[in-house]
Amino acid sequence: MLTQDDHAAELEKQLSQANKQLLQSEKLATIGQLAAGVAHEINNPIGYIHSNLKTLRTYLLDLFGVMDAIDQADSLATLKSRREEVEYDFLKSDIHDLLGESLEGIARIEKIIAALKDFSRKDDDGFKPDDLHQGIQSTLNVVSNELKYRAQVNLSLGQVPLLECNLPQINQVIMNLLVNAAHAMEHFGRIDIRTGTTDTGVWFEVEDNGAGIDPDHLQHLFDPFFTTKPVGKGTGLGLALSKNIIDKHRGTIEVRSQPGQGTCFRVCLPIQQPEGEDD
Ligand SMILES: Nc1ncnc2c1ncn2[C@@H]1O[C@H](COP(=O)(O)OP(=O)(O)OP(=O)(O)O)[C@@H](O)[C@H]1O
Ligand SMILES: [Mg+2]
């Protein structure tokens, strides 16, 4: 006969099973969304690079024609008129533009692929106790060039214990938040970085006094490829990637924002990860 304890254990097993399935299906949903986004985002640059290459081919055929004419031409005047015919000056400047645009498109695709690699990266060295404040400092060193003309950065760091985490990935989150904060500045502004503890966790905040976020955008903020930045400036992967990293750490990332006043992102992380469950 089953005792009450057996029942409870069985129920707990079922719940944990259901929970795992749910996590799995959420993961799949995210992957589907991501794949659709990648296809869409890459399609656009590939489209214009393709059409640029076709145009470049016809331009090159024209230019080869001029070069070949050197062999047959009886006078410089014939050559010059041949050059006029292919609208050489126009070709020259258009080739320059087409190549520039295509290179920019390739750079954009490269950025998307690099971000995708980050998404799928298995944490090589997993989680280990590390110093969050050191992570914040080294990240600040990396992005200081990007920040210094846009905002004054203030640190208000509490006493925090060593945090079981993958610090390079946490640094990546901090970097994304800092760069977003800097981009939100309409004038020279202020960015506050704060840290502190709760009973079982550590939190950090990145707050800016920039443009703030339209309330209608809040629900899409962490969706892959959601961006309000002009083409070429943002891919909309920063926050999606950050959420992915924080989820892997079993933490939370929250935002509060006042349009015209500023935005604050708050990340909470458990001090210890459950044993033997490294992702
Ligand atoms: N601190 C902030 N203030 C105002 N808007 C923000 C802030 N952080 C994020 N956003 C909004 O959220 C959008 C998504 O941010 P996310 O970092 O995911 O992508 P991105 O910055 O546009 O591009 P990427 O980070 O890939 O270069 C931004 O385009 C912007 O509209
Ligand atoms: Mg960003």
For residues 192 and 160, membership in a common domain is answered with: yes
For residues 228 and 263, membership in a common domain is answered with: yes
Domain total in the chain: 2
Q: Is residue 37 part of a domain?
A: yes
Q: Does 24 score more than 70 pLDDT?
A: no
pLDDT digits (tens, 9 = 90+) for 43-97: 889 999 999 999 999 999 999 999 999 988 888 998 999 899 999 999 999 999 9
Cα–Cα dist 64/61, whole Å:
5
Tokens of 31: 């992957």
User: To test the ligand 1 pocket, which listed residue (41, 109, 179, 180) has its Cβ within 8 A of the most ligand atoms?
Assistant: 180
CB 134 within 8 A of CB 243: no
For residues 111 and 63, membership in a common domain is answered with: yes
Q: Is residue 34 part of a domain?
A: yes
Least confident piece of the model among 3-17, 24-38, 175-189, 225-239: 24-38
What's the gap in Å between 221 CA and the centre of ligand 1?
7
Q: Give me the mean pLDDT over the 138-163 stretch.
A: 91
Tokens of 229: 């930045």
Q: Is residue 279 part of a domain?
A: no
Last residue of a domain, one of 120, 139, 173: 120
272: left (phi over 0), alpha (psi -120 to 50) or beta: beta
Could you tell me where the beta strands, DSSP code E, fall in the chain?
128-130, 151-156, 163-165, 189-197, 201-208, 252-258, 262-270
Name the pTM for this structure: 0.71
Measured CA to CA in angstroms, residue 270 lies from 60, 195, 207 at distances of 61, 14, 21
CB 263 within 8 A of CB 256: yes
**Structural domain span for residue 112:** 1-120
For residues 111 and 146, membership in a common domain is answered with: no
pLDDT digits (tens, 9 = 90+) for 202-236: 999 999 999 999 999 999 999 988 999 987 678 88
CATH at residue 11:
1.10.287
CB atoms within 10 A of CB 173: 27
- Residue closest via CA to ligand 1's atom 14 equals 227
pLDDT digits (tens, 9 = 90+) for 117-145: 766 655 555 899 999 999 999 888 878 87
For residues 56 and 172, membership in a common domain is answered with: no
CATH at residue 144:
3.30.565.10
- Residue closest via CA to ligand 1's atom 9 equals 180
What's the gap in Å between 16 CA and the centre of ligand 1?
35
**For 192, what's the count of Cα atoms within 13 Å in the CB-facing half-sphere?**
12
What's the gap in Å between 175 CA and the centre of ligand 2?
9
What's the gap in Å between 230 CA and the centre of ligand 2?
12
For residues 266 and 141, membership in a common domain is answered with: yes
Phi first, then psi, for residue 29 (nearest 5°) are: -60, -40
For residues 59 and 105, membership in a common domain is answered with: yes
Ligand 1 atom, smallest distance to 265 CA: 1
